[in-house]
Structure 1
Amino acid sequence: MSHVVILSGPSGAGKSSVAEALAQRYDRTVHLETDLLFRAIRMGHIHPMQPESDRQNRMIARAAARAASAFAQDLFAVFIDGVIGPHLLPIYVDELKVAAVPVHFVLLLPSVEESIRRVTPRAADRRMIDAEHRELHRQFAGHGEFAGCIIDNTAMTAEETADVVMESCGRGDCLVYTPV
Structure 2
Amino acid sequence: MNGVVLITGISAAGKSTVAQALAERLPRSAHVRGDAFRRMVVNGGAGMTPDLAEEAVRQLHLRYRIAANAADLYFEAGFTAIVQDVVLGEDLTKFAKMIRTRPLYVVVLAPDPVEVERRERERPKTGYGEWTIGRLDAALRGETPRLGLWLDTSRQTPEETVTEIISRAQEAEIHENPA
* TM-score, with length taken from structure 2: 0.87
Q: What CA distance in whole angstroms lies between the structure 1 residues aligned with 2:35 and 2:144?
A: 25
Kept in 2, the 8 Å contact 1:93–1:177? The answer is: no
Greater per-residue helix proportion? 1
Distance 2:127 2:32 in 1: 27
Establish whether residue 34 from structure 1 lines up as the match of residue 34 from structure 2. Answer: yes
CA distance in 2, matches of 1:125, 1:93: 23
- Residues 128-172 of structure 1, C-alpha deviations (whole Å, 9 max, x = no match): 47x522111111011264211210000000000111111121xx2
Letter in 2 for 1:22: L
Give the Cα–Cα distance (whole angstroms) in 2 for the partners of residues 149 and 26 of structure 1. 19
Q: Out of 90, 93, 96, which is 1:87 matched to? A: 90
**Identity value in percent:** 26
| Alignment of 1:157 onto 2:133 | no
Partner of 2:174: 176
1:59-70 aligned at under 5 Å gives the runs: 59-70=62-73
Structure-2 separation of matches of 1:21 and 1:109: 17
Provide the C-alpha distance between the structure 1 equivalents of 2:144 and 2:43, rounded to a whole number of angstroms: 36
Structure 2 unaligned spans of 5+? none
Partners of 1:34 and 1:60 within 8 A in 2: yes
Which secondary structure does the structure 2 equivalent of 1:85 belong to? coil
Question: How many correspondences in the alignment?
Answer: 173
What TM-score do you get using the length of structure 1 for normalisation?
Answer: 0.86
For 1:144 and 1:135, the matched residues in 2 are separated by 13
Which 4+ residue blocks in structure 1 deviate beyond 4 angstroms? Answer: 123-126
